[in-house]
Structure 1
Amino acid sequence: MNTYKLTALSLAIAASFSVTAQAQSTPALEEILVTAQKREQNLLDVPISVNAMAGEKIDDTGITGIERMADYIPSLNMTQTGIGTTISIRGISSGVNQGFEQSAAQFVDGVHFGRAQLSRAPFLDIERVEVLRGPQSILFGKNSTAGAISITTARPTDEFFAKVTGLYEPEHSKQDLRAVVSGPLTDQLSGRLAVLDRSIDGHFHNTTTGQDETREEDQVVRGTLLWQPNSQWDITLKLEDGSFDQEGRNLEVVNPAEIELPGRPTVPYSAVLAQLTGGAYTLDTTQDFNRQSNGDFSYNNTRNAMLEVETELGEHSLTAVTGYTTYDYEELCDCDFVGVPMFNILSKEDYSQVSQEIRIASPESGPFSYMGGLFYQSSDLEFDDEIRVPSDSLLPVALQQQVGEGALLLRGTASQRDFAQDSDIAAVFFQGTWELSSDLRLILGGRYTDEEKTASRRQYHTVTDPNSGATVERPVGTPQDPYNGLYGLFNIEPYEALSRTRSESGFTPSVTLQYDLNGTDMVYASYTTGFKSGGFDVRSNAHPDPTVNNAVNASSGSPVPITGVFEFEDEEVKNYEIGGKFNLADGRAELNAALFYTDFQDLQTSQFDGAFSFNVTNAAEAAIQGMELDGRWMATDELMISGGLAWLDFEYDDFPTAQCYFGEAPGQTQCDASGETREFTPEFQGNISANHTLALSRGLTLNSTLDLIYSDEYLATPTLDPRMVQDSYVKVNARVALSGQDDRWEVALIGKNLTDEAIVSYANGLPVATVVTGGTGSGYYAFYERPRSIALQGTLRF
């Protein structure tokens, strides 16, 4: 155990347990109210491992989305990849494929946001974020096998309130302007309007284009109305329109790698690129926040609406939540990740979703209370992408030694994939709580889900007519077509449209026993289950039938045996957990603890084939066990200490079809990862925060916050390549703010990553590198978090 780990653990333990020696005059902690069980409850009363972050903390730390919120919630991680986004809780995530819903489900004001792209949307005017760890298959339900991220936006207020916040960070030209106005419109109607405009130039420099990257622009407008015609009705309508766009990427090429094969000379990828450009191009593999690329972008538009109706039916409450969500995006990925023209991928996705949930809740008084309801969701997805070889591409030139002059036919061509899916989900759920005694409660729940998906996918090659300039489709059923053979080098084959329908249903029960130790402390033991439905692979580039060979080798004339994936099966999970919530030091400290063991069957994973494809497979078995601690301690009237610690042990019990990393088994695409851990699963993660408030003269207040964020080392690639390991680190964030009387104004300095750690959030092998070197050379690309930054933030309240 290194010094950083010892430091982080000792600080977390000190924050959690050293609470009994403080003066009795220190006031008690304020309650943290959450809705983890669809009722407003004190966090200490909820028998779930849940971590809540208030909107004020989110604003103060400059957190703009889920990705950076993960710093403050151990066992939560989010990573952006070359062609997707993943969220993981306790090491469980869905991988990179547009056919997946996320195992770590996201909910915004009770509406399911299951698509990975929506997790990139920026935060605006948030009341709180709750992260529920472990399967949440009863009250949240939809595919929440890893956990749930529940985001609650701020609602209209009874009194007038307005706030304007601006942030400027000079190093990367970050500008963030937010405005909120809220208050009554009539005696029965109140409203709230929130606006965001944010931009940043980025922390990478693209030496090919001369631009700083990633350049981001976010705009969001949200309007919320709350109508209370009488004391029995609350009707909330929320409308939101937003966009989040970026140009460039925060990645660079690192760690070249070569292997020796019998009878074949080693060909470094850097040497191939140098030869193609006559020595004019040098592959830069130094980690220096400089990259080489011919241009990337991601343009995203989102629109959503939510109508929530709450009313009283005698002593019961009835809630109906109607949700509408739609988004579209267009992305260009220069996915060779080098500065010479090779290939790029243009992707377009269009998604729409309508959902309805109706639930009824009994009063919590009495020996038995319950909540039950119905859920329905319908969605439509269209996804198209094309792997494009530009007319000036050097990729065909690199292939000439393997297949001859015919390789030049690839220039100006593309391989296109069209995918469409309709999905309908219906569910009924119920959870009841029995008071077995004044101290003991039994909570039983269950959810029955029925889901149907219909999908189609086809792959075809296109060329540009030299006379008209029009795009022309090549015939699919002619394996001798030279384009089929050339694309076959990259495991791509054309095929006629595949179309299938899959229907599945599942019942997910849960059992929880909760015992009150005294008036403030409680312990619990739970058994929860969950399943995430199967579906259809969006990104596989070949027909799933191994007897279908629509490509002939350009040199030998023999069929190219390529087998893809179209359909994958559901994953199932069982989770065993014991935990407790403890109020310490006469109410001045809290400690939440959980121990868990999770058993996954048929875990859904997405595997990169080293060229262009991501094939979905079901890993046979995985077991995860761990411990989570979090708490807070009001050490004095002026000093609050809070923190969290997670220990995680992830192991594939049986995974014989894992993707091989480069050089692991030459000539093979699949290797046995049984007994191995997973990527992005550090053994220890933790954070500790100290917030100090000092009253000055003339009504001024000085507020200082220091955050230490620790992560143990972890594998950074889905291939589990030991050459790409992120070392352990401690990241330091800090904030110092001066505020005026009654908090009417505030000026703050915000420092992030003050220790300037170089942190890899995702890495993988370079596409096509292995192909053009005959299997003897490759390299890696790595996404890096932002280095040190210091920003000035100002706030006015009215």
Structure 2
Amino acid sequence: MLVALPLLLAAADPQTAAPPVPPAPAEEPQAAPDAGQDIVVTARRREERLQDVSIAVAVLDEKTLTDTGAFNVNRLQQFQPALQFYSSNPRNSSINIRGLGAPFGLTNDGIEQGVGFYLDGVYVGRAGASTFDFVDVERVEVLRGPQGTLYGKNTTAGAVNITTKAPSFTPEAKIEVSGGNYDFLQIKGTASAPIIDDKLAVRVSVSRTSRKGTIYNVASDEYLHRQDNFSARGQLLWKATPNLDFRLFADFNLQNPLCCVQYYARTGSTQRPLNRQYAALAAALGYAPPSTNPFDRVTDLDASINSRQEMGGLSLVANWDVGPATITSVSAWRYWNWLPANDRDFIGLPITTISQNPSRQKQVSQELRIASNGKSRLQYTFGAFFFNQTINTNGSQVQGPAASRFLIAPSNPNSNNPAVLNGLTSTNTISFDNTSFAVFGKLNWEVLPKLHIQPGLRVNYDKKSGSYVAVVTTGTGSTTLNADQRAVLAPQSYAPRFSDWNVSGDVTLSYDFTPDVHAYATYARSFKSGGINLSGLPLDAANNPILSAQTVKPEKVDHFEVGLKTQFLDRRLTVNLAGFWTEIKDYQATVTNGQLGVIRGYLANAAAVRVRGVEWDTSFRASDRFRVYFNGAFTDAKYTNFKDAPCPPELSGGTTVTGSQVPSAPGTPGGLSPAFCDISGQILPGISKWSLSYGGEYNIPVGGGEAYIGYDGSYRTKFSSNPSRSLYTDISGYSLSNFRLGFRKDKLNVFAWVRNAFDQHYFELLSVQSGSTGLIVGQPGDPRTFGGTVSIGF
């Protein structure tokens, strides 16, 4: 916040302040994306008409968020086909755009996000800290493609930019209450008022969400996957002078859900000996899951389950209009505390009784920008950005009495001795320090009437350091391990380091054929910083960590894109198209293997990846009574060169081939497994080839207001849920349908809704039980929910 001090002093000294100019309004009225009016966005760090921005960007305004129930990032993906959000729990969350951003799978703290998440101009350093409920949001912008020359943190895949409403100098208030099945209750309230007329205003917002879980645990007699969220935000707006204003933000969020669980979905044959695969092991212990149909939504997990997290922060945003340009300072401090409990064996047997990595994160950031004002032929944005993040984790993994039978070969007498592994504990102490600094800038030069060239440049420095120490003790507390114990949990201690400078840039050519037809072509060369592995390393034949896997190389991205933005019929019809081709060298992938000592998978570089596709955003307002939209994305995402990848489950668990030996056919119990697999040409995980969103609304005048009926649907084709594709972990395509029926008048809106109306059975993700047992576990999506919402403003 020190950078804002010179601006504060300038406000206090009228001799140093710039000459007064008419200020921009604190709140620009926002039209709905389908209203056929001008939509104002800040995607390029200045207020602009959406259709004039040479970026593939989509906008969801407050009305759309309320009507569709999109109250967090997870629900946004149903309305933005190019956006993917995956979460096995809040910490293990990833936001991807066009299939890129963060490696699909469990989170590794030592890497960067490829999709930047911004809250009122503040970069949020972890996707897990973006899982709060939206409250008092003015708009959400989803920017697709590299944005590093416009945004403080380098974002090679895109950005999600959330803007909340500013304090108002006219008193106002709003309350929104929603209720539904599964005891769903959500209450949102906001109020704003002036403290000093035209000088100081305040805005306060709160949100409370609760819902009974959708999955019943017969072991604990409780419902899992519940929602239990609280959010509060406060703002002060001080207009120090007509050309200088400050916004001070404070927010606090607490989530305490009993989530997130994965449980029995199916089984598949591996190359582990048949008597060491799931069916035989479960039979030997007399175990059967409560149901083999995952959509019965019952489980018997016998370990504690929770995903408690607390997050919040303070930020100060200053804007100083000096006439030809505006200087902006964004100073922020944020924190995120994570306290989980998981059942990592995924079944009701005491194999792994504790698996948790509670962590504490703090970040400070400072961004300083100067952006030109007005509509001159040469416009510019220049900025500097500093970011520091620390994470400290103290975790543990504890094996139970059933671990010996599951994890030790039956031919070994110790497999029948529960004491060998019972109580075997790995205590993990993990630390991470991440410092980043960058200067960046972008020009928009109208070289000829209607023809613009927009070059951008970024110079970036990243430094990461960490420590991973795993101390393993037996059930009696001894650190002396036998071979069987060490094969399950091996001590590890290493201190990875990474630092690097890089230069990236982009150039866009755009042409305004008419005020409503705009075309552009972009080339971007960008980098995603290298990373360090902080979830444990794979082991060699002697069960020692492979230290060469401590770090991963930076990603090098070449991105090409062409786009066309058009409006017709008095701007009632909008058709925006984008085609893109992205080549990535040294793609950072989260990979897994059959070892138990690597709790969360580890990072590796795939030599080359290619993502290409076509997207469209269309809407049509046929009249004031009827509107429709249809958005879609075709995405072809593949590993083009990944020859040393870990193998899928059907090729894992057997004796590793040596010399001239030939691996057995997939799924051959007791067979020979390759040391690694060539998965070149296979699809990237987590991305569907086709994703669509569509819907509309029809209204009729009633009693001075309007009655309306609305529909929102989404569809996606099958996708892989494992870094190395397996038929066992492919998730079938599915469609979701949401309906609403209501009445609105002035500031009153009352409607009933049903989501997943046809009770579609689908998985959000599938995972493989470690140890190559062949058990596939899944996390099902929400069943049909229904309820009503009342919203009223004052």
| Equivalent residue letter for 2:729 | M
Q: Secondary structure at the match of 2:128?
A: helix
Query: Relative to 1, partners in 2 of residues 1:680 and 1:191: Cα closer, same or farther, differing over 3 Å?
Result: same
The separation in 1 between residues aligned to 2:568 and 2:405, in whole angstroms, is 70
Query: Relative to 1, partners in 2 of residues 1:313 and 1:159: Cα closer, same or farther, differing over 3 Å?
Result: same
How big is the alpha-carbon RMSD for the aligned residues of Structure 1 and Structure 2? 2.0
Shift of 1:258: 2.2
The answer for the alignment partner of 1:315 in structure 2 is 324
Greater mean deviation of Cα atoms: 394-403 or 567-576: 394-403
Question: Which of 563, 579, 596 is equivalent to 1:579?
Answer: 563
Query: Relative to 1, partners in 2 of residues 1:341 and 1:669: Cα closer, same or farther, differing over 3 Å?
Result: farther
| Equivalent residue letter for 1:206 | N
Shift of 1:342: 1.3
- Answer yes or no: is 1:508 the counterpart of 2:514: no
Greater mean deviation of Cα atoms: 712-721 or 42-51: 712-721
TM-score by length of 2: 0.88
The separation in 1 between residues aligned to 2:434 and 2:530, in whole angstroms, is 12
Stretches of structure 1 lacking an aligned partner (at least 5 in a row): 1-26, 466-471, 475-480, 550-558, 771-776
Q: Secondary structure at the match of 1:159?
A: coil
The answer for the alignment partner of 1:773 in structure 2 is none
| Equivalent residue letter for 1:753 | N
The answer for the alignment partner of 2:657 in structure 1 is none
The separation in 2 between residues aligned to 1:268 and 1:148, in whole angstroms, is 43
Question: Which of 714, 719, 735 is equivalent to 1:709?
Answer: 714
The answer for the alignment partner of 1:329 in structure 2 is 338
Deviation track 1:46-67 (CA, whole Å, cap 9, x = no partner) reads 0011111112211221122111
Query: Relative to 1, partners in 2 of residues 1:601 and 1:141: Cα closer, same or farther, differing over 3 Å?
Result: farther
The answer for the alignment partner of 1:781 in structure 2 is 777
The answer for the alignment partner of 1:251 in structure 2 is 262
The separation in 2 between residues aligned to 1:39 and 1:153, in whole angstroms, is 16
- Answer yes or no: is 1:225 the counterpart of 2:240: no
Deviation track 1:477-518 (CA, whole Å, cap 9, x = no partner) reads xxxx335x234333x4213x4224322011111100010111
TM-score by length of 1: 0.88
Query: Relative to 1, partners in 2 of residues 1:306 and 1:104: Cα closer, same or farther, differing over 3 Å?
Result: same
The separation in 1 between residues aligned to 2:497 and 2:377, in whole angstroms, is 46
Shift of 1:534: 1.1
The answer for the alignment partner of 1:566 in structure 2 is 550
| Equivalent residue letter for 1:256 | T
Conserved in 1, the CA contact under 8 Å of 2:276 and 2:410? no
- Answer yes or no: is 1:430 the counterpart of 2:436: no
Query: Relative to 1, partners in 2 of residues 1:516 and 1:280: Cα closer, same or farther, differing over 3 Å?
Result: closer
Conserved in 1, the CA contact under 8 Å of 2:462 and 2:499? yes
The answer for the alignment partner of 2:757 in structure 1 is 754
Query: Relative to 1, partners in 2 of residues 1:318 and 1:416: Cα closer, same or farther, differing over 3 Å?
Result: same
Alignment of 1:347-362 (within 5 A): 347-362=357-372
Question: Which of 118, 122, 142 is equivalent to 1:131?
Answer: 142
Question: Which of 388, 400, 404 is equivalent to 1:378?
Answer: 388
The separation in 2 between residues aligned to 1:453 and 1:760, in whole angstroms, is 35
The separation in 1 between residues aligned to 2:332 and 2:594, in whole angstroms, is 39
The separation in 2 between residues aligned to 1:304 and 1:402, in whole angstroms, is 56
Stretches of structure 2 lacking an aligned partner (at least 5 in a row): 1-33, 655-672
The answer for the alignment partner of 1:306 in structure 2 is 315
Identity %: 25
The answer for the alignment partner of 1:10 in structure 2 is none
- Answer yes or no: is 1:61 the counterpart of 2:68: yes
Q: Secondary structure at the match of 2:330?
A: strand
The separation in 2 between residues aligned to 1:640 and 1:60, in whole angstroms, is 14
Deviation track 1:381-433 (CA, whole Å, cap 9, x = no partner) reads 1123211124xx31124437344236623212211222111121111111111
Query: Relative to 1, partners in 2 of residues 1:58 and 1:611: Cα closer, same or farther, differing over 3 Å?
Result: farther
The separation in 1 between residues aligned to 2:457 and 2:514, in whole angstroms, is 29
Alignment of 1:526-565 (within 5 A): 526-541=522-537, 559-560=542-543, 563=546, 565=549
Shift of 1:657: 2.4
Query: Relative to 1, partners in 2 of residues 1:279 and 1:682: Cα closer, same or farther, differing over 3 Å?
Result: closer
The answer for the alignment partner of 2:639 in structure 1 is 652
Query: Relative to 1, partners in 2 of residues 1:402 and 1:247: Cα closer, same or farther, differing over 3 Å?
Result: farther
The answer for the alignment partner of 2:666 in structure 1 is none
Conserved in 2, the CA contact under 8 Å of 1:100 and 1:115? no
The separation in 2 between residues aligned to 1:280 and 1:779, in whole angstroms, is 13
Deviation track 1:289-340 (CA, whole Å, cap 9, x = no partner) reads 2222123111101021110000122321110000111111111110101012
Question: Which of 590, 610, 613 is equivalent to 1:606?
Answer: 590
Conserved in 2, the CA contact under 8 Å of 1:609 and 1:669? no
| Equivalent residue letter for 1:737 | G
Question: Which of 604, 622, 625 is equivalent to 2:612?
Answer: 625
Conserved in 1, the CA contact under 8 Å of 2:686 and 2:719? yes
The separation in 1 between residues aligned to 2:100 and 2:288, in whole angstroms, is 44
Alignment of 1:344-493 (within 5 A): 344-390=354-400, 393-398=401-406, 399=408, 401-405=410-414, 408-463=419-474, 465=476, 472=477, 474=479, 481-483=480-482, 485-490=483-488, 492-493=489-490
Question: Which of 501, 515, 520 is equivalent to 1:524?
Answer: 520
The answer for the alignment partner of 1:30 in structure 2 is 37
Shift of 1:282: 6.2
Q: Secondary structure at the match of 2:295?
A: coil
Query: Relative to 1, partners in 2 of residues 1:473 and 1:235: Cα closer, same or farther, differing over 3 Å?
Result: farther
Q: Secondary structure at the match of 1:72?
A: coil
Conserved in 1, the CA contact under 8 Å of 2:146 and 2:156? yes
Shift of 1:269: 0.9
Conserved in 2, the CA contact under 8 Å of 1:459 and 1:541? no
Shift of 1:372: 0.3
Conserved in 1, the CA contact under 8 Å of 2:152 and 2:383? no
| Equivalent residue letter for 2:490 | E
